[in-house]
Chains A and B, each alone.
Chain A
Amino acid sequence: MPFFKMSKVVLKSAVNKPATRLYPFEVRPDIPQTRGRIEMTIDNCTFCTLCARKCPTGAIEMDRKSQPRVFTLDRFKCILCGACVDACLTKNSIHVDDHYAPPTDKHGMVTWTQATPPPKPQSPAAPAASA
């Protein structure tokens, strides 16, 4: 009668080093292309608010009227779907970073304030068309 079929596996794990990682002494390396958190390069953003409209949970709030302009992300609502990244017109204001760090604010809000707005594109035919 086959008893103790597990003995081979159990002996192997008794002899080898533990399968678990000794965190915090050994930190898990970031896997590239994973979805960690949303990160902004705020100085390239034109505040067109397309990302806020496409966000399925409504996690993005953009304040265009205040000086300087402010971008707020509610990390507890963000599901890291990447719809904002796909919708961005400038294509280099917002991206998904592969390092996950837990939110530091009690309500999960992260804000970016735009110090210098991006230069307006030079277009010969357009009159003073504001952003």
Chain B
Amino acid sequence: MSKQTIIPFGPQHPVLPEPIHLDLVLEDEKVVQAIPSVGFIHRGLEKLAEKKEFAEMIHVAERICGICSFIHGMSFSVAVEGVMKIEVPERAQYLRVLWSEMSRIHSHLLWLGLAADAFGFESLFMHSWRVREKLLDMVEATTGGRVIFGVSKVGGVRRDIDTETLKGMMGEFKALEEQCREITTVFEKDTSVKRRTVGVGMLPKEDAYLLGAVGPMLRASGIASDTRMLKYAAYGDLDFAPVVETGCDCYARTMVRVREVYQSFDLIRQVIAKIPMGPVDVKVTGTPNGEYYARLEQPRGEVIHYVKGNGSKFLERFRVRTPTFANVPPLVHTLAGCQLADVPVIVLSIDPCISCTER
């Protein structure tokens, strides 16, 4: 039996967007076991529900994470609306879907840039983020903020987009889609990308299901599970199917995210074509009493916001189960048996959003 060494990976590492610590037990360049350790960004946001009224908690919920911020705000609103049985107007549902899909595209473009950086392809990283800047300008024009959108509230949305702006956005999305095609062709076809990602980090189908993987990790292993099929918000009126790949490796996960970008562009086109006129919010009276689990699809997987109210202005329990938290056991499983040089690529392929994981 050869000697085992332990190398710490993280919390500071050039490849990681956020700090996570893994102790890698190595035997001569092959990883035998990986032991995760979290807690670097634990801010105790769930406990803050005792101090902030439920209508103000939306600001805290949005700031759980910077990359997936809009969908956290929307999930919190959906959860409280589920408890209080509030009917949100149609136009607000469509606007929420529009902003969710824009948030998904920007998150996937950010991830594509980071993945390119993980295997050393810096110019592809810069170009992905250049394309993302144009999208962020559009987000700022419609919501007022680039990172934290600030448009969700319990009962609807806070801003409206008028019809002319929506028509202008269609043209801009078309131009954006063509720019995206140039970048994603490289991810799909270039040999150096394939050599770093094909066959790396295999997660077989059965293991993915039983370990509780969510999001692109699950869909890249051949299981067609997408929380948007639950038809919350306006997804019941839109026409789409989950993006599934059968490769089970990092290349399959990259392809799932690339194809989801184009799926989101298609969903946005459908939303802009079908959006009805009407009010964008509804007045909220009373306090929440009861509990509800809101399940939504973030760019990284399935997020659950659990809200329990007991009749007072303060929520009794606010609990967030984020997709990266559910993807940590599959990560530990795929790291066993890989080479040391593949560890950054595998860690990035789950799309780690550690500030979500540790709230």
Report which A residues bind B (CB closer than 8 A): 1-6, 8-10, 13, 19, 31-35, 56, 79-83, 96
Contact of B124 (CB < 8 Å), options: A1, A6, A19, A34: A6
Contact flags B222-255 to A (C-beta < 8 A → 1, else 0) = 0000000000000000000000000000000000
Contact flags B135-149 to A (C-beta < 8 A → 1, else 0) = 001001100110010
Enumerate B110-168 residues with CB–CB distance to A below 8 Å: 123-124, 127, 130, 137, 140-141, 144-145, 148, 150, 158
B137 touches A5 (CB 8 A): no
B150 touches A31 (CB 8 A): no
9 pairs of residues in contact across A and B, judged by CB atoms under 8 Å: A5-B185, A9-B123, A31-B137, A31-B140, A33-B144, A35-B144, A35-B150, A79-B148, A82-B150
B56 touches A3 (CB 8 A): no
CA of A1 to CA of B158, assembled, Å? 52
Report which B residues bind A (CB closer than 8 A): 52, 56, 59, 123-124, 127, 130, 137, 140-141, 144-145, 148, 150, 158, 182-183, 185-186, 189-192
Chain A residues contacting B137 (CB-CB under 8 Å) are: 31
Decide: A33 near B190, CB < 8 A? Known: A6-B123, A9-B183, A82-B158.
no
- Shortest CB distance A57–B (Å): 8
Closest partner residue, chain A, to B192 (CB atom): A3
Decide: A35 near B145, CB < 8 A? Known: A6-B123, A9-B182, A81-B59.
yes
Contact of B190 (CB < 8 Å), options: A5, A19, A79: A5
Decide: A34 near B56, CB < 8 A? Known: A1-B191, A9-B182.
no
Chain B residues contacting A5 (CB-CB under 8 Å) are: 185-186, 189-190
- Shortest CB distance A103–B (Å): 18
Decide: A10 near B123, CB < 8 A? Known: A33-B144, A34-B141, A56-B52.
yes
Could you list 10 further interchain pairs (A-B, Cβ under 8 angstroms) beyond the known A5-B185, A33-B141, A56-B59? A1-B191, A2-B189, A3-B191, A6-B190, A31-B140, A32-B141, A35-B144, A80-B144, A80-B150, A81-B150
